[in-house]
Amino acid sequence: MARNKYDIDEALDSEFNIKHLKRLGTYISPFRKDMAITILLMLTSSALGMLVPIFFMKIIDDFIPNKNIAGIVGVCFLLLVINIINMINLRLKVNITAKLGQNIIHQIRSDIFTHLQELPFSYYDDRPHGKIQVRVVNYVNSLSDLLSNGIVNTITDLFSLFFIVGFMLSIDIRLTGICMIGLPVLMALIFFIKRKQRVAWQIQSNKSSNLNAYIAESINGIRVTQSFVRERENIQIFNNLSKSYSTSWMNAVRYNFMLWPAIDNIATLTTAAIYVLGVSWITNGVAGITTGVLIAFTSYIGRFWAPINTLASFYNSLLTAMSYLERIFETIDEEVTVKDNEGATEMPPIVGDVEFRDVTFSYEDGVPILNGVSFHVKPGETYAIVGPTGAGKSTIINLISRFYNLDSGELFIDGIDINSVTIKSLRKQMGVMLQDSFIFSGTIMDNIRYGNMEASNEEVVAAAKTVCAHDFIMGLENGYDTEVNERGSRLSAGQRQLISFARALLADPKILILDEATSSIDTETEILLQEGLAKLLAGRTSFIIAHRLSTIKNSDKIMYVDGGQIIELGNHDELMALEGKYYDLYMSQYDFLR
C-alpha cells in the first residue's frame, strides 16, 4: 500500500484464487449443523413445491373432465398444507441464516481486529488509517448477504434444479431438450464477463478505500481545515474521490446486470418455443402431449430458470465478495515483523539497567535514522534526549519498548537481550507516554486506569495528584466520572497530557519513558509537576525527550542526538562547560525567554 496516500490505489494483482473460498469455508464449518438444518428445511419446501404443477396437471386432465369435485377439494387442501409448511420453513430459515451469517461476520471481523492489535508500528506508519478501517467494517459487512443467504440459497437451488429437471424429464423428454438449448449461451456469457467483472469490483474496492481514507483524514484534521479555510478545496477533493467511487461502482454493477436480463431473455425465448411447439403438437395429436402436460411443463420452466437466476446472482455476489476477501485475508496475513522470537522467555522483574550496543536502525531501506548508537544507563538514572527534529530521539525510546526491530546491534535491559524475552512481559514493566497524548472515549477514571486495570480508585486519584491533574479533574462536572470524547476533544492539550502522564505513572513502571511530556503544560503547572516528578523518578530508570530544556536540567545525563548519532553526552553543567551543541541550544532558549 502507498505510504499515507488517499489518492493512490492499492496494488493487488493476484489472480482468482480458490484458496480464498476454501479459507472462507473454515469460518463456515463450525456452523455446518445450522446450515444443514436450513438446507433440509428449504429442500423440503422445494420438493413439496415441485408437486404443485403435477397436481394442476391431474386436475386439468383428470378431475375436471370426470367432474371429480372431491378430488379437486382434496388437492386444494394439500396445496394449503404445503403453503403452511413452506411458510413455517421460510420463517425458520430466515432466523437461522441471519444468526449464522452474523456469527461468521463477527468471527472474521474479530480475527482481523485481533491481528491488527499485533501488527507493529511500521504497519500503521505506512498506511492511511481509513484504508485499514474500511477493511474491518465495510469489506466484512459486504460479505453479510453472501454468508446469510447466498450459500444456503445456492445449495438449495442446486438440489431444486435437479428435482425440477427430473420432473420435467418425467413429463416429456422432448420439451425438456428444448428448454436446455439456452444453457450453452448462458455459460458462454458467464465465461466472457468473469474476469472483467472481478477486475471491476477490485477497482471499486480501491475507490471505496480511497474515499474512506480521505474522510477519516478530513475528520481528524477538521480543526486545521477550518483554521486555514480549506473547506472548499477539501470538498473538491472529496467530490473527485466520490465521483471516482461512483463511476467504478456503476462500471462494476454493469457487469452484474448483464446476467439476469440474459437469463430472462433466454427463458422467454425457450418458453415461447415450447408454447409454439406444444400447441402445434396438441393440435396435430402428437402422442403424450396434452393441455395438462403443456401447462404443467411451462410451470416447471419458470421454476427451472428461477434457481438459475439465483445461481447467477450468487455468482455475481461471489465475484464481488472475492475482491473484498482478498483485501481481508491480505490484512490477516500481514506479517507480524515485531514478535516473540522462538524460545522467548518471560522478562524477569526489571531493575533498570539499559544498554545500547552499536545500534543501527532505519524506517526505510538505505535511510538510517540511528547509526552505531551506544550508551549505558544505570538503574535509577534519568537520561534526557535532546536534539533537532528528525534526529532520532523518539526512535531511541521506541526501540527500548521494542516497537520496532533493530537493523543491527544489540539492546540489553539488565544484561538481557530484549529480543530473547516476550514482548508483553517487557512492555508490562514500562510506563510510556508518547508525544501524541491519546485519550479514549469514556470516563477520565477509565482513561487513567488504562495503564493498570487492577488499580483502585484511590490509586488513580493518587497518580493524578502526583502529576497535578487532580485539581482540574475535580473542577469538571462529574470529576473523575466525567465522560470525555474520542481523542479527548473536550480537554485542552495540557489536560490531555496530564491524564496521559497519570496513566503512565499508575502502571508503576521500572522504566519510565516520557516523550514531550510537558510540552503543553503551562509554566505554573510545570513547576508543580517538577516536584511530583522528582519523587516519582527516584529509583526508576527514566528517559525524557524534551524541547523545553528547563524540564531536564536535573537529569543525570543529557544526550544530544543529531544525524542518528550521539554528539554529546553529560550532565547539564558538563555540557554547558563544553560550549557545544547543547550549549548553543540552551542559550538560544534562554535568550528567547529573556
Question: Are 353 and 232 within one domain?
Answer: no
Question: Are 22 and 141 within one domain?
Answer: yes
Task: Look at residue 466 and tell me if it is in a domain.
Answer: no
| pLDDT surpasses 60 at 4 | no
| pLDDT surpasses 50 at 1 | no
| pLDDT surpasses 90 at 590 | no
Closest CA to 496 of 506, 509, 485: 485
Give tens-digit pLDDT for 273-318: 888 888 888 887 777 788 877 887 777 777 777 777 777 777 777 7
| pLDDT surpasses 70 at 522 | no
Highest-scoring range by mean pLDDT, 14-18, 320-324, 372-376, 584-588: 372-376
Task: Look at residue 250 and tell me if it is in a domain.
Answer: yes
Question: How many C-alpha atoms does 323 have within 13 Å on its Cβ side?
Answer: 27
Closest CA to 321 of 140, 475, 160: 140
Q: Residue range 133-139: average pLDDT?
A: 82
Give tens-digit pLDDT for 529-571: 666 566 667 778 999 987 778 778 888 999 999 988 999 999 9
Of the three residues 332, 361, 386, the one that is the final residue of a domain is 332
Question: Are 91 and 230 within one domain?
Answer: yes
Q: Residue range 189-210: average pLDDT?
A: 77
Question: Are 301 and 174 within one domain?
Answer: yes
Task: Look at residue 12 and tell me if it is in a domain.
Answer: no
Beta strands in 535-579 (DSSP E): 541-545, 557-562, 565-570
Give tens-digit pLDDT for 236-270: 988 988 898 888 888 888 877 777 777 778 878 88
SS3 content of the chain, % helix, strand, coil (to 5): 65, 10, 25
Find where cell 456469457 sits.
189
Q: Residue range 341-361: average pLDDT?
A: 94
Q: Which three cell numbers stand for residue 569?
A: 553526552
Question: How many C-alpha atoms does 336 have within 13 Å on its Cβ side?
Answer: 14
CB 520 within 8 A of CB 501: no
Task: Look at residue 322 and tell me if it is in a domain.
Answer: yes
| pLDDT surpasses 60 at 445 | yes
Give tens-digit pLDDT for 138-155: 888 878 777 766 777 777
pLDDT band for position 11 (cuts 50, 70, 90): low
| CB-based burial, 289-326: b 16+ in 10 Å, e otherwise | beebbbbbbbbbbebbbbbbebbbbbbbbbbbbbbbbb
CATH of the domain at 201: 1.20.1560.10
d(CA 57, CA 288) in angstroms, rounded, equals 13
pLDDT band for position 185 (cuts 50, 70, 90): confident
d(CA 421, CA 443) in angstroms, rounded, equals 34
Question: Are 249 and 298 within one domain?
Answer: yes
pLDDT band for position 517 (cuts 50, 70, 90): low
Question: Are 126 and 83 within one domain?
Answer: yes
Highest-scoring range by mean pLDDT, 100-114, 170-184, 346-360: 346-360
CB 568 within 8 A of CB 384: no
The vertex-345 CA angle with 339 and 348, nearest 5°, equals 115
Predicted local confidence at residue 541, as pLDDT: 93
Task: Look at residue 185 and tell me if it is in a domain.
Answer: yes
Question: Are 171 and 318 within one domain?
Answer: yes
Question: Are 94 and 149 within one domain?
Answer: yes
| pLDDT surpasses 50 at 348 | yes
| pLDDT surpasses 60 at 2 | no
Has this prediction a pTM greater than 0.75? no
Predicted local confidence at residue 234, as pLDDT: 85
pLDDT band for position 17 (cuts 50, 70, 90): low
Residue-number span of the structural domain to which 255 is assigned? 18-332
| pLDDT surpasses 50 at 76 | yes
Q: Residue range 225-245: average pLDDT?
A: 85
Question: Are 275 and 384 within one domain?
Answer: no
CB 101 within 8 A of CB 24: no
d(CA 293, CA 60) in angstroms, rounded, equals 9
Predicted local confidence at residue 3, as pLDDT: 47
Give tens-digit pLDDT for 452-499: 888 899 999 988 888 788 988 999 889 999 988 766 667 877 788 788
| pLDDT surpasses 50 at 89 | yes
Predicted local confidence at residue 414, as pLDDT: 95
Question: Are 241 and 324 within one domain?
Answer: yes
Closest CA to 4 of 245, 364, 401, 434: 364
Task: Look at residue 457 and tell me if it is in a domain.
Answer: no
DSSP class of residue 387 equals -
Task: Look at residue 523 and tell me if it is in a domain.
Answer: no
1 compared with 488, residue with greater pLDDT: 488
148 compared with 351, residue with greater pLDDT: 351
Predicted local confidence at residue 10, as pLDDT: 67
Question: Are 162 and 74 within one domain?
Answer: yes
What three-state secondary structure class fits 143? coil
Question: Are 395 and 318 within one domain?
Answer: no
Predicted local confidence at residue 525, as pLDDT: 61
Domain count, the chain: 2
Q: Residue range 102-110: average pLDDT?
A: 88
pLDDT band for position 96 (cuts 50, 70, 90): confident
Give tens-digit pLDDT for 420-434: 999 999 988 888 776
User: How far from 126 is each of 6, 183, 536, CA to CA, in Å?
Assistant: 12, 49, 36
Predicted local confidence at residue 593, as pLDDT: 47
Predicted local confidence at residue 581, as pLDDT: 92
Task: Look at residue 438 and tell me if it is in a domain.
Answer: no
CB 271 within 8 A of CB 42: no
Predicted local confidence at residue 518, as pLDDT: 63
Of the three residues 288, 305, 332, the one that is the final residue of a domain is 332
Q: Residue range 391-417: average pLDDT?
A: 93
Predicted local confidence at residue 103, as pLDDT: 87
Predicted local confidence at residue 527, as pLDDT: 65
Of the three residues 274, 304, 332, the one that is the final residue of a domain is 332
CATH of the domain at 592: 3.40.50.300
430 compared with 221, residue with greater pLDDT: 430
Q: What is the mean pLDDT of the chain?
A: 82
Question: How many C-alpha atoms does 555 have within 13 Å on its Cβ side?
Answer: 28
